[in-house]
Amino acid sequence: MAYAQTTLTRTFISARRRRSSGEVPRSDLPDSADTATSEAVALSETRLAILEALAGLRPADRAVLVLRYLEDLSVEETAQRMGTSSGAVRTTPGCRCGGRTGSSTG
């Protein structure tokens, strides 16, 4: 009895794990992409543009931008992590940190 129950349970779980188990064949294809697909394409294009722009920066400038805006650290926290002064972080080209000291998006 235990053998049969174990076999049935494992067969059921294996069938549920298969990717194709949830796919349903369709005879017709949509004429155009839906809005979710077009939004995903726009996001991936934006991401590629950001990565390309970051690749063109010096490593120190790139680190400041990533820490400030992607990690959302304050000027002081960024300076501490980089081992530099907060003034150096504020004057990083393209950073536009201004005098903000709080952890805000921008």
- Residue 22, judged by CB atoms within 10 A of its CB (0-12, 13-18, 19+), counts as exposed
Q: Say what the pTM is.
A: 0.48
Cβ distance 90 to 97 under 8 Å? yes
Structure tokens at 27: 């005879």
User: How far is Cα 87 from Cα 34, in angstroms, rounded to an integer?
Assistant: 47
Q: How many residues does the chain have?
A: 106
Condensed to tens digits (0 to 9), the pLDDT of residues 4-24 reads 888 888 888 887 776 655 667
Condensed to tens digits (0 to 9), the pLDDT of residues 55-78 reads 888 888 888 888 888 888 889 999
52 Cα distance to chain centroid: 15
